[in-house]
Amino acid sequence: MALKSAIRDLRNKPDLLFLRLPNLVSLVCIVVGVVWLLLLPLNEYSRRTYISENALLPGQVHAYFTGSEQNIFRGYKREIEGLLNEGAEPPARREDTTLNPTYVEQQDSRMAYMVDVANMSTEYPKKLRSILQVAGLKVATQKYEYTSAGITHQGENVYGIIHAPRGDATEAIVLVAAWRTADDELNLNGVTLALTLARYFRRWSLWSKDIIFLFTPDSKSGTQAWVDAYHDLHPASVQPLPLKSGALQGAVVIEYPFEHRFHSLHIVYDGVNGQLPNLDLFNTAVAIASGQMGIGANLQEMWDHNDSYEARLQTILRGMAKQGLGYATGAHSSFMPYHIDAITLQPKGQGWEDEMALGRTIESLCRSLNNLLEHLHQSFFFYLLMESQRFVSIGTYLPSAMLIAGNFTIMAIALWMRTGYHLRSAPSEPRTPQKEQNPAPVTEKTEQTARISGPPVVERLLALPLTLVTGLHLLGLVPLWTLNTLSHQFFTSVTYTFVVVDVVLPLVLAALLSNGLGLFSPIVPQQYLLIKSFSLLLLGLCLSTLATLNFSLSFIIGLLCAPLSFIGRLQGLSAPLRYGLAVFGLVLLNLLSPPTILLGACWYFGVSVETVLTQAAFGWDVWGMWTQVVVWCVWWPAWLIGCVLLGSSVF
């Protein structure tokens, strides 16, 4: 009964229903969303990992890669080292076409990028070719070139295929060794190990899937060029592949960029745009490394993970940051968009495991993948890992991002209803301001309209709010286009320009808006609410869609946009107080603007803005990364509208 009367009371108090309650519900949504995420590391909400696909049988086979293979390894290594000593530059080069040589000489820090095209070594592809051919593989090469932000990336991929003695060349596994690791170190041992494994695998008769050994110059562009060309979706600057095999079932990237023995394996699994490989692949790698080989497995650079709540949460947050930014974390990332599950194995630390142990791990992993009867599909594709053997699946974590996205939708619906029911809440108010909406406003008929439409439903003036919201979202294309087309040396200045634009533009728009942009009749208070309603509706829409594709990005943007739910045009305050509050709010909001956040993050992590934006442009051009689209076409317009509304309290 109490509840019933409470609801009845609510109906009679539109002020409470439309003003206080939505704010409260939105706030609760955000708080619950954040708390939800913080609860995930607890044992009650997370699960231990398990192998879902029975065919994988991780660690059930004996790995024979030992003994005499080590001599082969040393032999190959000597051959490659011979090339290095002869002075041939290791592959992987970036050429800055916008810098002239004299300028480059003055810029020592840029020397790493500077490459003399004339000296471009063809020795390495030749060497790899001959080694693979002698080992009995079919070998082919592929040249590629990408240009992004005025920097040219070029190189030559070499790959060899072992045709499965027991297979029909319809499926294949890829082993990748890049000359430069994801951290831009020379991956000498990794490449050598891959060569040794190629020779070793060739002699086994048990393969039922083809095995492709791919050697790329770097970890950023090489695999992308290769896997694009493998599926015939390569741009014109990338050569097609002369030699192909079947559908790729999985890919493992081998890195071993140092000479000493290692302690544990670091498994990198994030793909472009936050796509993840099937959890079974990760689990298999962990099971083989720690269970069969006795090598520990790390993830997300958590070297001393003590399985405490803090460590788990930190692992999740690091995973979310990588997923949210959506960049390629290694050579494996490029495989993910083609639905090929892939991971990178990085040996880390000082220990007593040698390259043979890594080789055995990879052998065992390949044997497991070889067992697969169907594409990996059993286990999860959406998960957050908090430790090598603990995870939460999408059903458990998705509500947190959805709640945050939902808060915008709730607010949008509340604002919509509030604009419609204004008459009832303030019956004494003059009706004319809300009634001027009709394309052919007939003032004398207003009274009649009010009488006929009966229930206190107010007509809404939709043209201006719709135009403004759509227009500002389209305006987001400008920074998107600019930052993906300009040459990299302008990036820093462009970012600062955008900071300034973000301060000025909302005020200009607010001033224009106060007389209806000159196109429409003067704006009425209802329209400010409608603008906010549409903007938040769109934000909620985009974020909840995004949550299904890239949970972390949606969560992060949702949190950064959270204040937008609660700000709007200030009303009913005395002028000085209103001005003060508006200016204060604008300053705060400007601290949360996309360019400011970018600058702040760069300052915090000690990287230059130019590097970040160059990487982002490269991601857009080469990897098909769309984090920028979300930033400039979802976050920035919503933020801008928030600022405009707040700024309008001054005019």
Closest CA to 385 of 286, 293, 290: 286
Q: Using the minimum distance from each CB to other proteins, give the nearer residue, 4 or 451.
A: 451
Q: How many CB atoms lie within 10 A of CB 13?
A: 14
Min CB(108)–other proteins separation in Å: 42
Q: Hunting for tokens 């495989």 — which residue is that?
A: 335
Min CB(640)–other proteins separation in Å: 20
Q: Hunting for tokens 């707040």 — which residue is that?
A: 646
**Torsion angle, CA of 202/204/210/212, rounded to 10 degrees?**
-40
Q: Using the minimum distance from each CB to other proteins, give the nearer residue, 172 or 537.
A: 537
- Measured in degrees and rounded to the nearest 5, phi and psi for residue 116 equal -85, 110
Q: Using the minimum distance from each CB to other proteins, give the nearer residue, 262 or 382.
A: 382
Min CB(408)–other proteins separation in Å: 12
490 Cβ contact list (under 8 Å, min separation 6): none
Min CB(197)–other proteins separation in Å: 27
Rounded Cα–Cα distance for residues 601 and 378 (Å): 38
8 Å CB contact between 490 and 627: no
Min CB(336)–other proteins separation in Å: 8
Q: Using the minimum distance from each CB to other proteins, give the nearer residue, 10 or 206.
A: 10
* Tokens at 368, concatenated: 């497991």
8 Å CB contact between 285 and 250: no
* Tokens at 462, concatenated: 């939709």
Min CB(134)–other proteins separation in Å: 37
Min CB(90)–other proteins separation in Å: 35
Q: Using the minimum distance from each CB to other proteins, give the nearer residue, 111 or 442.
A: 442
Rounded Cα–Cα distance for residues 18 and 175 (Å): 59
Bridge partners (DSSP) listed for residue 214: 159, 176
Q: Using the minimum distance from each CB to other proteins, give the nearer residue, 21 or 549.
A: 549
Min CB(410)–other proteins separation in Å: 11
Min CB(439)–other proteins separation in Å: 6
Q: Which residues bind other proteins (CB under 8 A)?
A: 275, 337, 339, 375, 377, 381-382, 409, 413, 416-417, 438-439, 442, 445, 449, 451-455, 457, 459, 537-538, 541-542, 544-545, 548-549
What is the DSSP code (8-state) at residue 88?
P
Bridge partners (DSSP) listed for residue 267: 299, 345
For helices 491-513 and 636-647, give the axis angle rounded to 10 degrees. 40
Beta strand segments in 395-541, E: none
Assign 3-state DSSP to the chain and report helix, strand, coil percentages, each to 5: 55, 15, 30
Rounded Cα–Cα distance for residues 593 and 321 (Å): 18
Q: Using the minimum distance from each CB to other proteins, give the nearer residue, 513 or 542.
A: 542
Min CB(324)–other proteins separation in Å: 17
Closest CA to 298 of 277, 267, 321: 267
Closest CA to 617 of 100, 220, 323, 232: 220
Rounded Cα–Cα distance for residues 384 and 394 (Å): 8
Alpha carbon of 337 to those of 32, 151, 340, 484: distances in Å? 33, 24, 7, 21
Q: Using the minimum distance from each CB to other proteins, give the nearer residue, 17 or 538.
A: 538
Q: Using the minimum distance from each CB to other proteins, give the nearer residue, 119 or 449.
A: 449
Rounded Cα–Cα distance for residues 529 and 516 (Å): 14
Q: Using the minimum distance from each CB to other proteins, give the nearer residue, 233 or 607.
A: 233
Q: Using the minimum distance from each CB to other proteins, give the nearer residue, 171 or 363.
A: 171
Min CB(537)–other proteins separation in Å: 7
Q: Using the minimum distance from each CB to other proteins, give the nearer residue, 438 or 611.
A: 438
* Tokens at 83, concatenated: 């090339």
Burial category of 39 from C-beta neighbours within 10 Å (exposed 0-12, middle 13-18, buried 19 and up): middle
Q: Using the minimum distance from each CB to other proteins, give the nearer residue, 186 or 417.
A: 417
383-387: strand order across its sheet: 47-48, 390-393, 383-387
User: How far is C-alpha 626 from the chain's CA centre?
Assistant: 8
Q: Using the minimum distance from each CB to other proteins, give the nearer residue, 103 or 481.
A: 481
Min CB(308)–other proteins separation in Å: 31
Min CB(251)–other proteins separation in Å: 14
Min CB(111)–other proteins separation in Å: 39
Q: Using the minimum distance from each CB to other proteins, give the nearer residue, 101 or 454.
A: 454
8 Å CB contact between 625 and 327: yes
8 Å CB contact between 404 and 542: no
Dihedral sign computed on CA atoms, order 54, 60, 63, 64: negative
Q: Using the minimum distance from each CB to other proteins, give the nearer residue, 417 or 650.
A: 417
Q: Tell me which H or E stretch contains 608.
A: none
Rounded Cα–Cα distance for residues 121 and 158 (Å): 14
Rounded Cα–Cα distance for residues 340 and 235 (Å): 20
Min CB(564)–other proteins separation in Å: 18
463-484 burial, b at 16+ Cβ within 10 Å, e below that, comes to: ebbeebbeebbebbeebbeebb
Min CB(422)–other proteins separation in Å: 14
